[in-house]
């Protein structure tokens, strides 16, 4: 079926967000490995897999709507210089993704595209109840136990 062109364009913008998150988690996983923070290495690698899965869902839906998935774009990001910066900048990125997901979900609802809405609701669930929640918990932990203790727990 040929989908609404506006929805296909929105899906491509969302795809840019997922691909950016995938790249960010990939590089952070390698950086944390280099720094010796093995728990964080594993966590970022797990997030990278989630983002890859999210990108795949969007690509599949764009193809189903007979659109052309655009995998060339990225949101500009800088490489975080510390663990705390990573946690903060990732939280910002995820909050931006969640906000955009909610906007496109509302548009799908208005246009009566329930299939597309369902795809996005799954992504929103992971983004809010896994990624954002986990990042917020880490930042709360840092303020409770102190940065040094937190970093020690991630070795």
54 in contact with Fe ion (CB under 5 A): yes
Subset of residues 119 to 138 that bind Fe ion, contact rule: CB under 5 A: 127, 131
Residue 58 contacts residue 119 (beta carbons within 8 Å): yes
DSSP state at residue 66: T
Q: How many residues bind Fe ion (CB under 5 A)?
A: 6
Using CA atoms, how far apart are residues 155 and 144, in angstroms rounded to an integer? 18
Stretch near Fe ion under the rule CB under 5 A, chosen from 31-39, 52-60, 84-92, 109-117: 52-60
Provide CB contacts within 8 A for 145, sequence distance 6+.
Answer: 153
Residue 38 contacts residue 45 (beta carbons within 8 Å): no
Rank residues 65 and 132 by Cβ distance to Fe ion and give the closer one.
132
43 in contact with Fe ion (CB under 5 A): no
Footprint on this chain of Fe ion (rule: CB under 5 A)? 18, 51, 54, 94, 127, 131
């Amino acid at each position: 079926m040929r989908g609404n062109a506006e929805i296909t364009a929105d899906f491509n913008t969302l795809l840019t967000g997922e691909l950016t998150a995938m790249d960010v988690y990939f590089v952070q996983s390698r950086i944390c490995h280099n720094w010796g923070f093995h728990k964080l290495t594993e966590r970022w690698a797990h997030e990278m897999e989630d983002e890859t899965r999210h990108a795949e869902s969007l690509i599949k839906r764009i193809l189903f709507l007979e659109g052309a998935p655009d995998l060339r774009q990225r949101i500009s990001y800088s490489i975080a210089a510390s663990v705390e910066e990573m946690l903060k900048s990732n939280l910002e990125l995820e909050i931006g993704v969640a906000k955009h997901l909610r906007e496109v979900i509302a548009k799908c609802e208005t246009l009566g595209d329930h299939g597309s809405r369902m795809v996005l609701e799954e992504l929103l669930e992971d983004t809010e109840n896994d990624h954002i929640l986990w990042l917020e918990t880490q930042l709360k932990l840092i303020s409770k136990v102190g940065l040094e203790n937190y970093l020690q727990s991630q070795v």
